[in-house]
Amino acid sequence: MPAFTLEDLKNYTGCEIMKQNQTTFGDVSTDTRSIRPGMIFLAIKGENFDGHNFLDKAVANGAAGVILADKSKVTKIQNENITILYVKDTLKAYLDIAGGWRSRFSLPVLAITGSNGKTTTKDLTAAILAERYKVLKTQKNFNSEIGMALTLLSLRPEHEVAVIEMGMRGLGQIKTLAGIAKPDIGIVLNVGNTHIELLGSQENIAKAKGELVEAIKADGLVILNADNKYTAAMAVKTKARIVTFGIDNKADITAENIRMLDSNKTVFTCKEAGQSVELTIPLMGKHNVYDALAAVAAGRAMHIDWSMIKHGLANFTSSGMRFEILRLKDYTIINDAYNASPLSTKAAIENLTILPAKRRIFVFGDMKELGAIAQQAHEEVGRFCAAHKIDILITFGALADCAAIAAKCSGIRFVQSCKSHEEIAMLLKTILKKGDAVLFKGSHSMQMEKIIELLEK
Ligand code: ATP
Ligand code: MG
């Protein structure tokens, strides 16, 4: 378990000591429920909760110290034996402490960013590296500042490599995360439209993702997607060695002869420096091959041999709701409801067309955070459905309704806009026929998976 002295905390965060009692502490936590005797409670103000309102709970659970950013709340701490530290920004302090802890280890750290596929690539990379090393990886989708601090504070002496997912919600964020994690290897998967509302343009998104490339030192490694013009252009941002992966363009690591098997598997021939290896991933579609190629590039850089790569990829288990194929009665249900962006929605539609099915039905919920391009992006999805011969389009949400109109104008005969999960479930129950395949996709907040639950009842 991490252990910090008062001196460490002062050095890492520059905190002001408001009250000094205990001078040695265990781990740091932002959640009073995980506070154990001797730990430090760090009060973070989030969207829904303010940690400063739980100081008494932290103390009751045995916290030896608290770090806070609101001096007025000190009176809430009744226990005389607590060390109280003040910082201006507790989130920054959390990252600084995590960075301090990370600096005590000399293992290689891999960081992964991109608009789509970060979690999948993180898990694929960890699966490959676990064939040879003891791996620490970001749990679930914990890719924010808090998530990364949590991950780094989980570093233990037995770990031999760390795989970190880095999310991005604005310029400067990846720079901050990378400044703390100090990655040796940086992977940028792609630059799409996700978060365009926050960043204004795709160029700005590329700039923000490019911060990871800029953070890799000259003796490190940068892994870039050669098929995405924005990531390909990032090569100039670093002095580090660059390895590229791609399918359509020339790259160091490529995939050919990509075949989808209906049992939710994709097989491809992976080529690197004259070597050719047949690889299988338990995932559907070309977009996941990109994620696998990035993971292979990381594996090769970490000296994993091909037989281990093959084994690691084959045994990878995906996090749920990412093109998860389920059989329900006589129908194929595809749960891709984890999230949706224009890039990942088109990838999912392409995959749907490959699946063997009598009719292909797409149940589409709004794609959020697209700002000014929202309407146009949804209309494009509608036309994309028509061009890919989707038989039935059912939409949910005001934006997805724009896709419905565009799909109708482009020739899809059966298009229906619905107002609730229940209405969609009812509609599906009346129209579904043996052999149909139904894809569910929309932004996280649209909770498209709820419709599947209703169907299962
Ligand atoms: P988040 O930003 O929510 O953390 P993420 O970048 O971690 O997302 P995943 O969770 O791996 O991405 O996948 C999210 C969605 O993107 C899934 O629907 C998946 O099918 C799709 N996807 C995965 N990889 C790619 C890719 N390389 N290109 C386009 N879409 C992809
Ligand atoms: Mg993720």
Give the number of other Cβ atoms within 10 Å of residue 45's Cβ.
Answer: 15
Q: Check residue 319 and give left, alpha or beta (phi > 0: left; psi -120 to 50: alpha).
A: beta
Q: By three-state DSSP, how is residue 177 classified?
A: helix
CB contact at 8 A, 205 and 196: yes
Nearest ligand by distance to the CA of 338: 1
Phi, psi at residue 340, to the nearest 5°?
A: -150, 135
Phi, psi at residue 412, to the nearest 5°?
A: -75, 125
Q: Is 51 annotated as a binding residue?
A: no
Residue nearest to atom 10 of ligand 1 (CA): 119
Task: Give me the sign of the Cα torsion angle 249, 255, 258, 262.
Answer: negative
Q: Is 113 annotated as a binding residue?
A: no
Q: Is 351 annotated as a binding residue?
A: no
| Domains present along the chain, CATH in parentheses | 4-90 (3.40.1390.10), 105-314 (3.40.1190.10), 324-456 (3.90.190.20)
Residue nearest to atom 25 of ligand 1 (CA): 117
pLDDT band at 154 (very low <50, low <70, confident <90, very high): very high
Atom of ligand 1 at shortest range from CA of 348: 20
- Residue 442 Cβ < 6 Å to ligand 1: no
Tell me the average pLDDT of the chain: 95
| Cα–Cα distance measured from residue 268 to residue 427, given in angstroms and rounded to the nearest whole number | 38
Strand order in the sheet with 253-261: 135-137, 161-165, 109-113, 185-188, 221-225, 241-246, 253-261, 265-272, 275-281
pLDDT at 262 over 80: no
- Residue 189 Cβ < 6 Å to ligand 1: yes
Mean pLDDT, residues 33-57? 93
pLDDT band at 263 (very low <50, low <70, confident <90, very high): low
Q: Check residue 444 and give left, alpha or beta (phi > 0: left; psi -120 to 50: alpha).
A: alpha
Mean pLDDT, residues 309-337? 91
Q: How far, in Å, from the CA of 416 to the mean position of ligand 1?
A: 27
Q: pLDDT tens-digit profile of 194-232?
A: 778 889 899 999 999 999 999 999 999 999 999 999 999
Q: pLDDT tens-digit profile of 384-421?
A: 999 999 999 999 999 999 999 999 999 999 999 999 99
Residue nearest to atom 21 of ligand 1 (CA): 344
Q: pLDDT tens-digit profile of 165-203?
A: 999 999 999 999 999 999 999 999 999 987 788 898 999
Q: pLDDT tens-digit profile of 242-260?
A: 999 999 999 999 999 999 8
pLDDT for 320 equals: 79
pLDDT at 10 over 80: yes
pLDDT for 59 equals: 94
pLDDT at 343 over 70: yes
| Cα–Cα distance measured from residue 21 to residue 26, given in angstroms and rounded to the nearest whole number | 15
pLDDT for 417 equals: 98
Q: pLDDT tens-digit profile of 418-432?
A: 999 999 999 999 999
| Cα–Cα distance measured from residue 248 to residue 190, given in angstroms and rounded to the nearest whole number | 14
